[in-house]
Chains A and B, each alone.
Chain A
Amino acid sequence: MAMAFKMATTGIRVTDECKSSFMEMKWKKVHRYIVFKIDEISKLVTIDKVGGAGEGYDDLAASLPYDDCRYAVLDFDFVTVDNCRKSKIFFIAWAPVASRIRAKILYATSKAGLRRVLDGISYEVQATDPTEMGLEVIRDRVK
Chain B
Amino acid sequence: MYGGGNYTALSLSLSLSLSLGLTVIGCFVVDEVSAIVVDLGSHTCKAGYAGEDAPKAVFPSVVGSIVGSVDQSEVGDTVKNEKESDSIDSKNGTRPFDSDKTKAKRKLYVGSQALGYRRDHMEVLSPIKDGVVVDWDMVDNIWDHAFRFCLILFSCLLLLLISSRDRLLIDPKEHPMLLAEPSSNTPQQRERTAELMFEKYKVPALFLAKNAVLTSFASGRATSLVVDCGGGSTTIAPVHDGYVLQKAVASSPIGGELLTDCMLKSLESKGITIKPRYSFKRKETRPGEYQVVDTDFPNTTESYKLYSQRIISGDIKESVCRAPDTPYDENSYANIPMTPYELPDGQTIEIGADRFKIPDILFNPSIVQTIPGMETFADSSPPIRGLPQMVLDSINKCDVDIRRELFSSILLSGGTASMQMLKERLEKDLLEESPQAARVKVLASGNATERRFSVWIGGSILASLGSFQQMWFSKAEYEEHGTSYIQRKCP
Please report A residues at the B interface, Cβ cutoff 8 Å: 1-8, 10-12, 40, 43, 69, 93, 95-97, 99, 101-112, 126, 128, 132, 137
Q: Is the CB of B439 within 8 A of A137?
A: yes
User: Could you say which residues of chain A place their CB within 8 Å of the CB of B213?
Assistant: 3-4
CB < 8 Å: which of B222, B446, B464 contacts A126? Answer: B222
User: Could you say which residues of chain A place their CB within 8 Å of the CB of B217?
Assistant: 4, 104-105, 108-109
A4-B221 in contact given A10-B470, A11-B470, A108-B216 (Cβ < 8 Å): no
B395 to chain A, nearest CB (A): 16
Q: Which of A69, A112, A126 has the most CB of B within 10 A?
A: A126
Q: Which of A3, A7, A10, A43 has the most CB of B within 10 A?
A: A3
User: Could you say which residues of chain A place their CB within 8 Å of the CB of B464?
Assistant: 102
B242 to chain A, nearest CB (A): 3
User: Could you say which residues of chain B place their CB within 8 Å of the CB of A132?
Assistant: 408, 441
- A101 vs B450: C-alpha distance in the bound complex, in angstroms? 9
Q: Is the CB of A2 within 8 A of B243?
A: yes
Q: Is the CB of A108 within 8 A of B220?
A: yes
B36 to chain A, nearest CB (A): 18
A128-B443 in contact given A104-B218, A105-B217 (Cβ < 8 Å): yes
User: Could you say which residues of chain A place their CB within 8 Å of the CB of B450?
Assistant: 101
A41 to chain B, nearest CB (A): 8
Q: Is the CB of B220 within 8 A of A107?
A: yes
Within 8 A of A (CB), among B118-143: none
Please report B residues at the A interface, Cβ cutoff 8 Å: 53, 209, 213, 216-223, 241-243, 405, 408-409, 439, 441, 443, 446, 450, 457-458, 461-462, 464-471, 490-491
- A112 vs B467: C-alpha distance in the bound complex, in angstroms? 13
- A6 vs B490: C-alpha distance in the bound complex, in angstroms? 11
- A126 vs B407: C-alpha distance in the bound complex, in angstroms? 12
In the complex, which residue of chain A has the Cβ closest to the Cβ of B460?
Answer: A101
In the complex, which residue of chain B has the Cβ closest to the Cβ of A9?
Answer: B467
A110 to chain B, nearest CB (A): 7
In the complex, which residue of chain B has the Cβ closest to the Cβ of A40?
Answer: B466
In the complex, which residue of chain A has the Cβ closest to the Cβ of B213?
Answer: A3
Q: Is the CB of A6 within 8 A of B471?
A: yes
Q: Is the CB of B446 within 8 A of A97?
A: yes
User: Could you say which residues of chain B place their CB within 8 Å of the CB of A110?
Assistant: 467
CB < 8 Å: which of B243, B458, B471 contacts A105? Answer: B458
A43-B466 in contact given A1-B491, A4-B242, A7-B471 (Cβ < 8 Å): yes
In the complex, which residue of chain A has the Cβ closest to the Cβ of B244?
Answer: A2
- A95 vs B53: C-alpha distance in the bound complex, in angstroms? 18
Q: Which of B53, B241, B490 has the most CB of A within 10 A?
A: B241
User: Could you say which residues of chain B place their CB within 8 Å of the CB of A106?
Assistant: 465, 467
Q: Is the CB of A2 within 8 A of B491?
A: yes
In the complex, which residue of chain A has the Cβ closest to the Cβ of B441?
Answer: A132
User: Could you say which residues of chain A place their CB within 8 Å of the CB of B467?
Assistant: 7-8, 11-12, 43, 106, 109-110
Q: Which of B464, B466, B469 has the most CB of A within 10 A?
A: B466
Q: Is the CB of A128 within 8 A of B221?
A: yes
Q: Is the CB of B439 within 8 A of A3?
A: no
Q: Is the CB of A105 within 8 A of B241?
A: no
User: Could you say which residues of chain A place their CB within 8 Å of the CB of B408?
Assistant: 132
A131 to chain B, nearest CB (A): 9
Q: Is the CB of A128 within 8 A of B209?
A: no
A105-B220 in contact given A2-B242, A6-B471 (Cβ < 8 Å): yes
Q: Is the CB of B221 within 8 A of A108?
A: yes
- A12 vs B468: C-alpha distance in the bound complex, in angstroms? 10
User: Could you say which residues of chain A place their CB within 8 Å of the CB of B409?
Assistant: 126
A140 to chain B, nearest CB (A): 8
User: Could you say which residues of chain A place their CB within 8 Å of the CB of B216?
Assistant: 108
